Amino acid sequence: MDILKNKIQNLLSFVGQNDIEVALQNVLDTFVCFYHLQINGHQVYPTEVEAYYYQNGIFEDACVHRNELQTNHYGQLYVHRAKKNGTKDDKYKGRAGVDVCLSDGSYTFAVLLRGIEVNNEIILGPINVRKMLLKLLGTTDNKILEQQKDILIKEKLETGHTFFSPRIGITSGCVDAELRAVHTDTLIGTNYRKKELLYLGYKRRNIHSDISDARILLGYIPKKLL
């Protein structure tokens, strides 16, 4: 079985909230470090992503859109709609981001692309990511973006590691869940939002980490650590 699908099957076997969060982090780590997107001949590497997962009665994250395109559309793209719990025919959100759907069943699972690297350039912010993907396709039509097939390509070797933090701008649902992942190789010199949270998440998992690690991993020492 494909390594990413194997991680997702493992996720589906859990019912406890903490176990599910860890399993989601494992999926994100695999997605960021082992895969890229193939868009019109261009290799697009995810550098910053967020997980949005909803399964009735098991993990009901209120901030998940739950659009039909986020369910059972594995490997396809979903451009955000203005309406929650909607269909593919609903109007697009004005400032829409784009997700990669990772669901191949009745559950909802999609990964928001917050940052990508393409042609040696890092693009940050969900709206900018969508605009770049459209540019690679030579279109402004979101529907063409959603029509792309077979875009998930596995790397031969793992390309690095990830740091985790809570998702950006979430005010409902699993607010504190650390379901945002950033590729470690892109941390230094890249202006990620709330960058310090990524190091603090690392520090919680590595209790022997000291302040010098922050300089190595971030390129500077956050004021809150001084």
Q: What is the pLDDT of residues 6-33, one digit of tens each?
A: 999 999 999 999 999 999 999 999 999 9
**Residue 155 pLDDT more than 90?**
no
Choice among 53-62, 105-114, 180-189 with the minimum mean pLDDT:
180-189
pLDDT attached to residue 226: 60
Neighbouring C-beta atoms of residue 86, cutoff 10 Å: 15
Name the pTM for this structure: 0.93
CA 205/CA 188 separation, integer angstroms:
20
pLDDT attached to residue 219: 79
- Listed in sequence order, the residues at least 6 apart from 169 whose beta carbon sits closer than 8 Å to its beta carbon are none
pLDDT attached to residue 209: 73
